Structure formats: C-alpha cells, structure tokens
Structure 1
C-alpha cells in the first residue's frame, strides 16, 4: 500500500512539473513550484517511513524550509516585479509539451529498467520520475522565451537530483542534502540578480531579443 502511495506521489510530481512548464506568469509558476516541492517533501517522508531511511526525515525538513517556503518566496517576490507580456508567449503549444513529458517519462522507465539497487528495485517508477525531471527541466528552458521561466527549468532539475539522491543514497548524512540545497539557493539568487540586471538594462525578458551582443 505504501509503495502505491509513493508511486502516486511520484506521478503527481510529473503533473506539477507539466504545470510549471506551461504556466505563463512567473508568480503562478513560483506557486506551482512550491506545490511540487511539497509533494517532494511528502515523498521523502513516505520513503523514510516505509524503508526506515531515517535520514530522509531530516531531508524532508530541509526541503520544506528551502524548497516549499524560501525559494518560492524569493522567486515570487523578485520575479513578480518584472513583467514582459511578449516574453510570456510559449514556443511550444501546451498539448505538445504534455506529449513530450509523457514520452520522456516512458523513455526514462526503459532507461532505468536494468538498474538493480536494494531500495530502487521496488521504486523504479520513482527513479524514472527523478531522471525524467532532468529532461523536463531542459524542456522548460528551451520551450520558453521568458528568461525568468527558464530559471524554473533549473529548479525542476534540482528537484529531480534531490529525489534521485534520496533513492540511491538515502543513508547519506543530512549535511549532503544541506550542501546541495545551499548551492541551489545561491544559484537561483545569482540567476534572479542577472535577470533583474538584464530587465533593467534592456527592458525585456524575451530570450530571443538577447541573441546579439553589443560592445
């Protein structure tokens, strides 16, 4: 029963990833990212309970503070101050994005099929979801004209790496998760600052307008 809950939570991660990619407003995307991170926290908690991976309880607390509260708040407040309606037009229709996300998920299931690890053997769908998040994050980056939305592509990749680490190294010290999370926070802050400088200087968030460098 618990494995069913875990796999369903992993499926919900895919759904929230799709919503993050297709959302137009960055403030809406920040809220959806917070929701996805909450699902990730519940996933950590359930895996910790089912497999006696007690270190994941600490991971879930860290993930809640940083991914559910801190990062979305930074993104919501800072990115909400910048708006460029032209940049909100997506390059790929949401229907096609849904098809691509489904195809990525199926391909990742085939990729991880030969993997044989103690806990992963029963949670291969979850491992497939963690791997799929790298490619969904990349899809978010290349399918958006808005450079702010591209930041969330990185966030999706980071959530995927956290989930994969929880599956293959769930007995690792809590300090490892803290180090990875701190790196992610500083990376996001750096990208937000860079986006603000670009918007202040060029008055655009459209990545298509940033293809020519002027000396």
Structure 2
C-alpha cells in the first residue's frame, strides 16, 4: 500500500510537469522543468527497485540521473541558450485547451490499461495510465508547438513515458538493456539539436511552420 501510494503520487507529478513543459515560454525554464520531471522519474525507479527488490532498476535509475537529469538538459542548454528566439513569439495553443486535451488523454489511457495485468500490483494501474499518457502528451506537444526546440521536448516526454512503461512491465530486464534504452536519448537529442541549430543558422527561425519550402 505504501509503495503504490508513493509511486502513484510521483506519477501525478509527472503529468503536472508534462503540462508545464508545454506551457512555459522560456527555454531555460523548460529545461529546468524537464530536468525536474526526469528526477521524479528516477525517484519512481528507486521506489520500485526498493519495494520489489528489483536490483536491476538501481542501475537504470543511476544511468537516468546521468543522462536524463544532467546530460540531456545540459546538451539542450549549450545548444540553444544563445538563441534569443522565444516560444512566446509564436501563436500558441490556448492553455485551457492544452489542459483539457491532457486530461482527456489521461482519462482515455486509464480505461485502456484497465484490463492489463501488471506484474507488480493492481494498485499501480494509475501509474501505467500515466506512462501511456506521457507518450501521447509528448506527441501532442510535437503537434501543437511550432517551436522546434519545444518539439524536441515533446520527443523527450514520449521517451520518459516509454521508460516508465518499461520499468513497470519489465523491471527485471538485464542492466545492459536498461543502460542502452536510457542512453539512446542522448544521441537522439544531439542529432535533433544539431539539425535545429543548422535550421536556425540558415533561416534565422525555429518556427516549424516556415519549413515548408525545399531549396536545392
């Protein structure tokens, strides 16, 4: 009962930080929010590892601290902190609509996972719903945001959701697999950041809507 209460509440914080990540305007604030969300994800890993005696998850959690809490935010900051263009300059989806869509996604995901048999415990169904919802909230971020950097954060949200799902359904996978799954985010973010900087250098904008003309 104790572990499910802790994990379910931490999962609720993941939803809140996901919505904040979409809504905040400044890049530095977005990076802080993502780092905070990743830290919450790591805490869930540690709680599951402790209560379920899943020592493999300790390695996953430590790797996530290095990659998701430290390296990925640092890469994004170093890549874009000199770019003055703010997400506030774009026509954003209204805040009530973002919150409403996130709530609908969470509700639908809860009903989708209801029949699933968790290897942990039935009391963690809300966490599984959150893990699935994070994936689709990240997809919503990619679709609704015109800023390319925000779209990178959308990908990071999708990945956090995928990692949470894997930690719930396959928390005893070998450490090497866990490390590989966690570190792939670094390479993906590096590649996307490189192309985003090239786009900004050539077009002086991060507006994805302006990338509709191919030049040979």
Supply the distance in 2 between the matched residues of 1:87 and 1:23 (Cα, whole angstroms). Answer: 9
Supply the distance in 2 between the matched residues of 1:182 and 1:200 (Cα, whole angstroms). Answer: 28
Deviation at 1:143, TM superposition (A): 1.2
Deviation at 1:25, TM superposition (A): 1.7
- Counterpart position of 2:107: 106
- Counterpart position of 1:185: 186
CA RMSD of aligned residues (A): 1.3
What are structure 2's unaligned runs of at least 5 residues?
none
- Counterpart position of 2:50: 49
- Structure 2 CA distance for partners of 1:27 and 1:86, relative to 1, 3 Å: closer
What are structure 1's unaligned runs of at least 5 residues?
none
Supply the distance in 2 between the matched residues of 1:13 and 1:86 (Cα, whole angstroms). Answer: 22
Supply the distance in 1 between the matched residues of 2:88 and 2:177 (Cα, whole angstroms). Answer: 37
Matched-pair contact (CA < 8 Å) for 1:88–1:145? no
Matched-pair contact (CA < 8 Å) for 1:158–1:184? yes
Cα offsets for 1:124-180 (capped at 9, x unmatched) = 111111101110001111111111110000000111111111011100011112111
Deviation at 1:88, TM superposition (A): 4.0
Q: Secondary structure, in 3 states, of the residue corresponding to 1:190?
A: helix
Supply the distance in 1 between the matched residues of 2:25 and 2:143 (Cα, whole angstroms). Answer: 14
TM-score normalised by structure 2 residue count: 0.95
Supply the distance in 2 between the matched residues of 1:19 and 1:66 (Cα, whole angstroms). Answer: 21
- Counterpart position of 1:19: 20
- Counterpart position of 2:210: 209
Supply the distance in 1 between the matched residues of 2:84 and 2:214 (Cα, whole angstroms). Answer: 22
Alignment map for 1:1-215 (pairs within 5 Å): 1-85=2-86, 88-215=89-216
Matched-pair contact (CA < 8 Å) for 1:141–1:151? yes
Matched-pair contact (CA < 8 Å) for 1:139–1:153? yes
Aligned length: 215
